């Protein structure tokens, strides 16, 4: 009995282990402020990315006009250039704002804004530019989509890596005062509960909308109901067919639940 309650049975950490653990905690706590990859991200958002985007768009437009001289005489090309520069201007403003907030506003909301901004400026302009090229220049979706797909994949990877960094970095958590979840299981449960907390009707609507999008897009590529090239009217008709059922069903159910039920 004495052996069971003796102090020798309780593992006592050595002084070296305690000191090592304390130094590790202190090093994590000291890792704060704008520096390292965080400083590079801020520099990229405020200076590097806008300059590269401006140069890239100028080169692309100039190259297209040099290869196809007739473009400069078309009004539609001028409209497309205006749209392209407008999209880039908005993306640069959002990018600069995200970088400035990372630099000056050290709050948890800044990280959320930056993550949203990264996905916004890296993906949304690509889809808008693709639609603008089809509607304004009558470009073929089958011809232009593969090139855009490569850029979309690379942009998704880039935005995903920076998102992972902003969520996992110790420097980011210390600098922007992000409270860490002590129990990882609770964090996973909270993430799952967000989806489960939504009504069954909402989850069913999201699921059916995704299935509808996949079906319609595959039908367009396989059956080619509009032929090889779609004109503006056919594109608008396709977008109406793609978006109207989910929107009408969702809006109708929302109106029923809010004003009738």
* 191 domain residue, yes or no: no
Interval 65-77 mean pLDDT? 84
Best CA proximity match to 141, nearest among 234, 242, 74, 241:
234
> CA separation (Å) from 117 to 90, 102, 114, 171?
11, 12, 5, 20
* 94 domain residue, yes or no: yes
pLDDT, tens only, 16-60: 554 455 445 544 556 778 888 999 999 999 999 999 999 998 998
> CA separation (Å) from 20 to 25, 26, 31, 164, 218?
9, 10, 17, 28, 58
- Do 186 and 211 touch, CB atoms closer than 8 A? no
What pTM, to 2 d.p., does this model score?
Answer: 0.61
- Do 96 and 50 touch, CB atoms closer than 8 A? yes
> Sorting pLDDT into bands at 50, 70 and 90, what band is 1?
very low
Q: Does 165 share its domain with 202?
A: no
pLDDT, tens only, 165-179: 998 888 898 888 866
Q: Does 130 share its domain with 215?
A: no
* 130 domain residue, yes or no: yes
Q: Does 157 share its domain with 60?
A: yes
Number of neighbours of residue 38 by Cβ within 10 angstroms? 20
**3-state secondary structure (DSSP) of residue 199:** coil
Can you give the residue range of the structural domain that contains 129? 34-178
Q: Which tokens is 226 given?
A: 């509009």
**3-state secondary structure (DSSP) of residue 74:** coil
pLDDT of residue 184: 53
* 13 domain residue, yes or no: no
The number of distinct structural domains making up the chain is 2
């Amino acid at each position: 009995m004495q052996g069971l309650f003796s102090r020798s049975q309780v593992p006592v950490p050595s002084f070296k282990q305690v000191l090592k653990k304390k130094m590790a905690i202190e090093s994590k706590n000291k890792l704060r402020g704008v520096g390292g990859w965080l400083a590079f991200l801020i520099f990229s958002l405020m200076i590097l990315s806008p300059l590269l985007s401006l140069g890239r768009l100028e080169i692309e437009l100039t190259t297209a006009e040099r290869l196809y001289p007739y473009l400069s005489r078309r009004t539609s090309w001028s409209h497309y250039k205006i749209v392209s520069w407008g999209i880039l201007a908005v993306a640069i403003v959002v990018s600069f704002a995200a970088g400035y907030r990372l630099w000056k506003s050290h709050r948890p909301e800044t990280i959320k804004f930056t993550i949203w901004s990264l996905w916004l400026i890296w993906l949304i302009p690509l889809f808008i530019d693709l639609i603008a090229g089809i509607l304004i220049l009558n470009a073929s979706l089958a011809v232009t989509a593969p090139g855009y797909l490569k850029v979309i994949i690379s942009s998704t990877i880039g935005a995903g890596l920076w998102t992972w960094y902003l969520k996992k970095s110790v420097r980011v958590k210390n600098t922007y005062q992000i409270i860490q979840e002590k129990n990882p299981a609770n964090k996973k449960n909270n993430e799952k509960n967000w989806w489960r907390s939504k009504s069954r009707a909402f989850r069913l609507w999201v699921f059916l909308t995704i299935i509808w999008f996949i079906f319609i897009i595959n039908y367009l590529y396989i059956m080619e109901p509009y032929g090889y090239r779609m004109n503006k009217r056919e594109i608008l008709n396709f977008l109406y067919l793609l978006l109207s059922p989910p929107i009408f069903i969702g809006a109708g159910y929302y109106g029923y639940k809010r004003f009738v039920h």
